[in-house]
Amino acid sequence: MALKDILTPFTVWKNVFKEVVSVKDPLNDRPGAARYRGFHVNDVDKCIGCGSCEVICENEAIDLVAVKEATLGNSGLRPMVDYGRCCWCALCVDVCTTASLRLTNEYTWVSENADDFRYIPGVDAKPWDNNELGWKKPEPNYHFYGEKRQDMGELHPEERDHSFIEMIKGFSKEQAMLEADRCVECGICIAACPAHMGIPDYIKAVREDNIEEGFKVLYDTNPLPEICGRICTHKCETVCSVGHLGEALSIRWLKRYIADQVEANDYKKILKTDGITNDGKKIAIIGSGPAGLSAAHYLALMGYSITIFEQFAHAGGMMRYGIPSYRLPYDQIDKDVNYILSLGVEIKYNTKIGKDISLEELKFGYDAVFAGTGLHLGRSTGIPGSDHENVYQSIDLLNKITEDIEIYVPEKVVVIGGGNVAMDITRSMARLQKIKYGKVGVIATALESEENMPADREEIVEAREENAIVNPGWGPQSIEIKDGKITGLHVNKCLSIFDDEGRFSPKFDENNKQFFEADMVVESIGQGMDLGYITEDVKKDLEFGPRGRVVVDEYFQTGVNWLFIGGDIIQGPDVIHGIANGHKAAVGIDKFLNK
C-alpha cells in the first residue's frame, strides 16, 4: 500500500472547518448545483434542427416541430420537450452537433395545466432562459462521434507531379468504417445534394459492412458512382451537421469506397437488372455527359429503346474531355458507362448533331429527344493580344491531353482563371513541363482574391504543392507580343469585380501593376454552350432566359414538347447537377410519352 493511500482518508478533515450550508427557506429557495440538470434552453439560431436529440432520446420526450423556414443546412425544425417523459439524462445535450442545446439548473416548475410542460426551448419564453448555470456540452472536443475525419491517402507531390496517375488512393475498409461511424444520420445533407441521394443510408451500409446494400442506395439516384465518388463538388459536406464542431464527414470518399468495392461483373446481379428489355418507344439523347448518361440509365430501366449521339470518340463528355486523369481515371469512367450500355443503351460515336445528323431527323426518327450537350466552348478575355496563335482555351488543351495529342509546352505559361478548370489546366501544364524540362514554370492568376476564388481549396493547395504559382487578385490588361512571339501578360491589381447592383464590372488599380512572363497564355474564364444544332424553326418555339439558357419546366421539358434539355447548359456546371437533371428528365419523358 502506498503512503498516499494511507493519508487520503485523513484529507476529509479539512471539511470540518468549512461553514455548513443550510437552506433557510426550502420552499422558495432551493437552487440546484451549478451543473444540475434541469429544464432545457436552446439557441434556436445556432440550432440546425438535425434531430440528433430526438433520435437519442429513449423516452421519446423530444419531438422536432417546424419553427423556421427550411434552408440548406437547416431543417427549420426545433426540439419540443415533453417533461412528462423527460428523465433529465442530458444525452440530448451531449449529442447536440452544434452545442445549441443545454440544461439550466432550474428544476422546480408549478402549473395546473399539464400542457405547459411541453414547450419549445428558445421559442417559448421561460424564466430560466438567461440562466447560464446548468449542464452544457463539456468542452473542449467532447463528442459522441469522431471530431476529425479519416485522412485520405494520396500520392506525395514528388510522386505525382510528373505523371497523370490517379493521386487519391481511396479509403481502406478500416478507414471507411471509422469515418462512417462519425455520421449521426441526421439527413441534413440530403437536401443539399442536387440528386438528393440517400446519404445516411449508404453511410450506414458502410458502417455495417453491407456494401451491396450501399451500392443499391447509390444507384437509386446516381448511376455514376465511380465518377461522382471522385469529382463530385460534395455540396453535402458543406452542411454536414458534425462539421459545426468538428470536421465534416467525408461523404464523397465514402461514396467512392462503396463503388470501388463492387466488381463491374457484379453490377447487374446486385442491382437485379438482368431481365431489362428495351423494346419500348425510342428516345434519342444528344451527348454522353453526366446528364445524358443519367437520362439513358433511368429510361432504359423503364424499358425504352435508347440511342445516344456522341460527337467524340469516347463517352463521358466534359468528365472525360475536361477533367485530367489524375483526378478521374478513364477506366473508372468506362466502368460506369459500360454498365449503362449493358442495359441495352446504344452510343453512336463521332456523330455530331447538326453536322452528321440533324435535329429534324431525330424529331421524326424518335419519340422524344433529350439534349445534354454541356459547355464545350471556351470564353476569351478579348484583351489586346488574345488572338495570338499561342493563346489557348483551357477546354481545347484538356481535350487534346485526354486524346493524348501532343500540345505546345513552353517553359513559361500563364493561366487566366480561378475556377476548377483553370486549376486543372494549370496542374496539367505543370506536369507536362516537369516531364519535358524537369521543372515547372506556370502561373495561374484570377480576378478574385484567394478566399473568393471559385476553385475548390484543395485544388489550389495541390497546385502549389506541384510547384505551380497561384497569384490571384489581378486583372489581365494585355498580352505583350514582340517579334511575333508572346513575352508575357500585363495585369493590374483588381479592386472589385461587381458593381453595386451585382453586375460584372471589374475595377482596377492603375498604379499597381505586374508583368507575368510567358511564352504561352491559357484562358480559362468560363465555358459557353454550343446550341448550333437547334434549328431556327425549333428555336422560335423556345424561350430563352439569362445568359442564353433555354427555359425548361421542372422536368426539363422545353416549349417544344418533344425536346428536353438538361445538364450544364441548363444548371451547374457540375456532375451531380447533370446526374440529377438527367434523372428528372427521364421521369418527364416518361410522363410525356404516357400522358
Quick check: is 444 in a domain? Answer: yes
| Same structural domain, 389 and 476 | yes
- Would you state the pLDDT for residue 430? 98
Residue 48: all three cell numbers together? 440546425
Q: Which helix (H) or strand (E) holds 432?
A: helix 420-437
| Same structural domain, 164 and 242 | yes
Number of neighbouring beta carbons within 10 Å of residue 498:
11
- Classify 81 as helix, strand or coil: strand
> Which of 72, 102, 135 is a domain's end point?
135
Listed in sequence order, the DSSP H helices in 144-266 are 157-160, 173-180, 188-192, 199-207, 211-221, 225-231, 235-238, 251-261
| Same structural domain, 519 and 589 | no
CA separation for the pair 462, 433 (Å, rounded):
16
Quick check: is 10 in a domain? Answer: no
Quick check: is 110 in a domain? Answer: yes
- Classify 14 as helix, strand or coil: helix
> Which of 486, 511, 527 is a domain's end point?
527
> Which of 269, 298, 326 is a domain's end point?
269
| Same structural domain, 326 and 431 | no
CA separation for the pair 21, 29 (Å, rounded):
13
Residue 235: all three cell numbers together? 455540396
What residues are paired with 82 via a beta bridge?
118
Is the distance from CB of 359 to CB of 440 less than 8 angstroms?
Answer: no
| Same structural domain, 166 and 259 | yes
CA dihedral sign of residues 425, 431, 436, 438: positive
pLDDT averages per 10-residue partition of the chain, 595 residues: 72 74 69 90 96 95 95 95 95 94 92 93 94 89 85 94 95 97 94 95 97 97 96 94 94 97 96 87 96 97 96 94 95 97 97 95 96 91 96 95 94 96 97 97 96 93 97 97 97 93 90 97 92 92 89 96 95 91 97 90
CATH (domain of 480): 3.50.50.60
Quick check: is 15 in a domain? Answer: no
CATH (domain of 70): 3.30.70.3270
| Same structural domain, 256 and 165 | yes
| Same structural domain, 445 and 551 | no
Is the distance from CB of 524 to CB of 419 less than 8 angstroms?
Answer: yes
Structural domain that includes position 59: 30-135
| Same structural domain, 66 and 115 | yes
User: Residue 357 contacts by C-beta under 8 Å, 6 or more apart in sequence?
Assistant: 309, 351
CATH (domain of 256): 1.10.1060.10
- Would you state the pLDDT for residue 18? 77
CA separation for the pair 207, 236 (Å, rounded):
19
Residue 28: all three cell numbers together? 422558495
Quick check: is 339 in a domain? Answer: yes
| Same structural domain, 484 and 552 | no
**CA R_g for the chain:** 30
Q: Which residue has the cell 462503396?
A: 258
- Would you state the pLDDT for residue 26? 65
Residue 301: all three cell numbers together? 430501366
| Same structural domain, 534 and 523 | no
Quick check: is 55 in a domain? Answer: yes
Quick check: is 5 in a domain? Answer: no
| Same structural domain, 364 and 418 | no
In this structure, what DSSP letter does residue 473 have? S
Domain count, the chain: 4
CA separation for the pair 221, 219 (Å, rounded):
5
- Classify 462 as helix, strand or coil: helix
| Same structural domain, 371 and 298 | yes
Number of neighbouring beta carbons within 10 Å of residue 12:
8
Quick check: is 3 in a domain? Answer: no
Q: Edge-to-edge strands of the sheet including 118-119?
A: 62-66, 77-82, 118-119
Is the distance from CB of 81 to CB of 118 less than 8 angstroms?
Answer: yes
